[in-house]
Every structure is written in structure tokens, then in C-alpha cells.
Amino acid sequence: MNDERPTSRISGFFKMSQEERYRALIDAQILTEEDVEYLRPSGEIGFDTANHMIENAIGVLELPLGLGLNFLIDGKDYVVPMAVEEPSVIAAVSHIAKLARPSGGFKTEYSGSRMIGQIQVVGASDWDATSAAILENKARLLAVANEFEPGMVARGGGAKDIRVRLIEEGKYQSMLIVHLVIDTCDAMGANMINTMAEGVAQEIEKLTDGRILLRILSNLCDERVAVARCRIPFSELGWRGFSGEDVAKGIELASQFAEVDPYRATTHNKGIMNGISSVCIASGNDWRAVESGAHAFAARSGQYSPLAVWWVEDGHLVGEIEVPLAVGTVGGPIRFHPTVQLVHRILRVESAGELARVMAAVGLAQNMAALKALATEGIQRGHMSLHARSVAATAGALEDEIDDVVKHLLKCQDIKVDRARRILFELRNSQL
Ligand SMILES: CC(C)(COP(=O)([O-])OP(=O)([O-])OC[C@H]1O[C@@H](n2cnc3c(N)ncnc32)[C@H](O)[C@@H]1OP(=O)([O-])[O-])[C@@H](O)C(=O)NCCC(=O)NCCSC(=O)C[C@@](C)(O)CC(=O)[O-]
Ligand SMILES: NC(=O)C1=CN([C@@H]2O[C@H](COP(=O)(O)OP(=O)(O)OC[C@H]3O[C@@H](n4cnc5c(N)ncnc54)[C@H](OP(=O)(O)O)[C@@H]3O)[C@@H](O)[C@H]2O)C=CC1
């Protein structure tokens, strides 16, 4: 490959076959022949599946899939598949799930799968009249929306309510936002919500002298919320020379830090999403939707806040997470991705609500693991000792060399790939 940047203008790439794409990329000096051989999908997802899932496909990017263990949720055991690139996340949730088991594990709740489709009305001359007309026609509009998804109505879901919000921000023209509230049952629901929102919009337009602009779901799904709690006695919490009470009070103070400081709350919630997003990815769910919903929910009071909080009560540490989770057990890649289907067989959840409740418990466990480490010995020992394994592998250590490289990396506390390469070189030349 020469040093000149190859052009990114490749017309009609999306219409090319797999081989035509590889040839075009080699000709454009974007890929080499070796790159192409490396990229050729060889796993369960072949090129055709990838190409049906996304556009301009050239290959498949794999992520490690691991198991979060020890989870007892509402009296049932769950083995939780998690797809994630970050070391220590799965160890952390398994660690806390084990700790929580003797006191009953996690107790959860789910609000139901109600989502919002937004329809934006602009340019009306009389907002009161438009609002009144929409609300007076609610039953008919709901029936129209439901005509677009009869299967959902048969399942007990579909459009359930219509609300209106007049938004008047001085510097912009006023707009009326119609909220179409839809029960999506076991689906995430984006496609069906958008279908219903677009379908009913034409009828809404007839009720106003304004016009309809956007018709799209909201990812702030604050009516689709999962809650998980755990309550662990001090006697279970002693760790690495810290008493159970010290650990509990440290976690409580860490929680309070997040409650008053958005800088800390953001990192606190990042830890929670370590757990939740990993389950989302493994289970074929849209983690961008879940992430955006979670962060918007965290900011709903006007100040960005923690999704999970902890406090000390009667000799126990109590934790609670409340998080919106638009996740499904049907639809999207769940229909055709073989690994995702296997994940669902491992998870053994029977509904979107059950999946959301498991995810909430995983998020709470991940949060407690991080806070427990942060409020005691610090994050680095547990996290870095596991991170060191991936650093050693990146440096080229073979399976039977990794433990030795990790040992030396931890000893010198310089967990970097360059250092690992030097250690490996010295080990192979028997200088260590
Ligand atoms: C790493 C541990 C768990 C060690 O903790 P430990 O006490 O040394 O663990 P242990 O050896 O006593 O083992 C207890 C259980 O943990 C699990 N476990 C233990 N080790 C492993 C392992 N290697 N692989 C898989 N599972 C493991 C396993 O279930 C085990 O039970 P067992 O199987 O022995 O009956 C602990 O130090 C920990 O939880 N640390 C926190 C790690 C963490 O939070 N990582 C997330 C990434 S950091 C981040 O991005 C978020 C952050 C921190 O910024 C968020 C925030 O600021 O809030
Ligand atoms: N902003 C966002 O978040 C957006 C996200 N997306 C994407 O949309 C996808 C999710 O949309 P979604 O509508 O869930 O997916 P699908 O359209 O793939 O699946 C939903 C369909 O599954 C069928 N179904 C079968 N069994 C059930 C059941 N028990 N409960 C509910 N539905 C059932 C229903 O069709 P039937 O009644 O006909 O059987 C339903 O309409 C994700 O891939 C996401 O990435 C798309 C646009 C925007």
C-alpha cells in the first residue's frame, strides 16, 4: 500500500457482490489480498447474513461472549450471557451476584412495555383547537393506529393512549407534540411504533390547519422501567481487611457522591451500562437505544443523576436501580442471528419484561462491584489484574506464557503492551 490516502468515493458499492467488493477495495488500495482473506466471514454469520443485516458489508467483527454467573433473581437462577470487550466486567457482576445470593439475590419489578411514538404538529393557527380536536378523536385515532399492527392488538398490545404536549419556547415557533402510547409486548418496538405513528399522522393532520413533520418513537421510554434491589447484611460484606460495615458505609458515601455530582454520576452510570449494554449486545438488542434512554432518564430531574443508589439500613447495605429498558425477546436480529438465539436459550427468559429485570439486576451488580472496589482497595488491583491478561495476549504471549507475563506486569505496575513485549522477550530468552 502506498502512502497516499485512497479515495472513499466508491459508487454503487452497495450493489456489488462480496467478491466485487473485495476486488474494488483491493484496486482502490484500501485492502490487501491478505486483508481480504482475513476478513472473509468464516463463523456462524456468513457474508450474506451480514449483508442482509447492514449495508456495504465486508465482514464480521467478533466480540468475546462470556457468562455472568451466580445470579439469583426473584428466586430463579439465571446464567447471563454478556458480550463485551472490557476485562473485569463479567468477573465483577459474578462476584456481586455470588455475594448477594445468601440474602436472596435480587428482587425486581417491571412497569410494562409502554413506549411513546411522537408526532410533531407545526404551523397551526389555534393550538387549543388542535389539541381539543385530537383528544376528542382519541378513540378513533387509536383504532386507526391499531389497524397498522393487528397482530399487536391480538396479543393485548398496540396503541393504548394519546396525549398532547404544547411546546412553546420563545425563540422557536410553537409546536404540538402528540404522544401515541403503545404497548409493544415482547418487542423492543421501534419499527411497529414508527409504522403506527406514520399511519395515524395522516388522520391527525386532518384535524388541524397545521401540518405534520416528524413521526418517530422516543427513546426516552420512561414508562418502560425496570427496578432491581438487593439487601445484603454487613456480615456478608467484609473484604480485604475492611469490615462489612466499612464496606457498606463506603458504598453509601460513594453513592452520595454520585447523587450530588454529575461528573461522578456519569462514571457511576458508565459502570452500570458496562453490565446492561453487554447483555443488550449478547441478546441482540439495540444498545444505543438503551444507552440514550438510560442517560436521558438519569437527567430527567434537570441534574444528571445516578441510575442506582445505595444506603445503609439496619445493619444492611441496600441498593436499588431504576432504569428504562426498551429491550425485546422477539424481532430485530433475534429472528435470524444464530448466536443471539443461543444466548436466548441460555438466558431462559420468557418475556421482554423478564429480560429487562435481569438486565437491571446485572446493572446493579456491576455498580456495586465498582463501588466496593473504589471505596476500599481502589479499582486497579481487581480490574488491572484482569486487564493485564489482555495486555499480555496483545503483546503476543502464548497461552502457556500469559500467567508469567501477567505476574511480571503486576509486579512492576506498568500494565502496557510495550512493557509486556519486553517481559515476553526476556522470558523467552530466559532473562527473567
Ligand atoms: C475483579 C474482582 C471480581 C475480584 O474480586 P475478588 O474478591 O478477588 O474475587 P474472588 O477471587 O474472591 O472471587 C469471587 C467471585 O468473583 C468472580 N470472579 C472473581 N475473579 C474472576 C475472574 N477472573 N473471572 C471470572 N469471575 C471471577 C467469581 O464468581 C468468584 O466466585 P467463584 O467462582 O470463585 O466461586 C473484584 O476486584 C471486582 O469486582 N472489581 C471491580 C471490577 C469492576 O468494576 N470492573 C468494571 C470495569 S471498571 C469501569 O469501567 C467502571 C468504573 C469503575 O469506572 C465505574 C465506576 O467508577 O463506578
Ligand atoms: N430510535 C430507535 O431506537 C430505532 C430503532 N430501530 C430498530 O428497530 C428494531 C426493533 O424494532 P421492533 O419493532 O421491536 O422489531 P421487529 O419489527 O423486528 O419485530 C417486532 C414484531 O415482532 C412481532 N412479534 C412476534 N411476537 C411478538 C410478541 N410476543 N410481542 C411483540 N411483538 C411480537 C410483531 O409483528 P406481528 O404482530 O406482525 O407478528 C412485531 O411488530 C431494532 O433492531 C432497532 O435497532 C429502528 C428505528 C429507530
ipTM of this predicted structure? 0.96
366 shares a domain with 257: yes
123 shares a domain with 69: no
Q: Report the pLDDT value the prediction gives residue 432, as an integer from 0 to 100.
A: 66
Nearest-CA residue for ligand 1 atom 50 is 271
> Is 270 among the domain residues?
yes
Cα-to-centroid distance, 74 and ligand 2 (Å): 27
197 shares a domain with 336: no
C-alpha cell at 200: 395515524
203 shares a domain with 232: no
407 shares a domain with 297: no
Cα-to-centroid distance, 193 and ligand 2 (Å): 8
Q: How many domains does the chain have?
A: 4
Q: Last residue of some domain: 176, 196, 217?
A: 217
> Could you tell me if the CB of 363 is within 6 A of ligand 2?
no
391 shares a domain with 361: no
Q: Ligand 1: which of 65, 78, 80, 95 to mutate, most ligand atoms within 8 Å of CB? A: 95
> How many CA atoms are closer than 13 Å to the CA of 314, on its beta-carbon side?
1
Q: Report the pLDDT value the prediction gives residue 2, as an integer from 0 to 100.
A: 52
Q: In the chain, which residues have pLDDT < 50?
A: 1
Residues acting as catalytic residues = 86, 270, 286, 383
Using only the alpha carbons of the chain, give its radius of gyration: 26
371 shares a domain with 388: no
Which ligand is closest to the CA of 286, given by its number? 2
Interatomic CA distance for residues 432 and 425, integer angstroms? 9
Nearest one of 116, 186, 179 to 155, comparing CA atoms: 186
> Could you tell me if the CB of 98 is within 6 A of ligand 1?
yes
> Is 7 among the domain residues?
no
Cα-to-centroid distance, 124 and ligand 1 (Å): 57
> How many CA atoms are closer than 13 Å to the CA of 420, on its beta-carbon side?
23
C-alpha cell at 219: 427513546
369 shares a domain with 233: yes
Q: Report the pLDDT value the prediction gives residue 431, as an integer from 0 to 100.
A: 63
Q: Last residue of some domain: 377, 392, 408?
A: 377
Phi-psi region of 407 (alpha: psi -120 to 50; beta: other; left: phi over 0): alpha
- Spatial contact of 328 and 334, defined as CB atoms under 8 Å apart: yes
168 shares a domain with 93: no
Interatomic CA distance for residues 108 and 112, integer angstroms? 13
Instruction: List the domain range (segments joined by +) for residue 24.
Output: 13-53
> Is 58 among the domain residues?
no
> Is 6 among the domain residues?
no
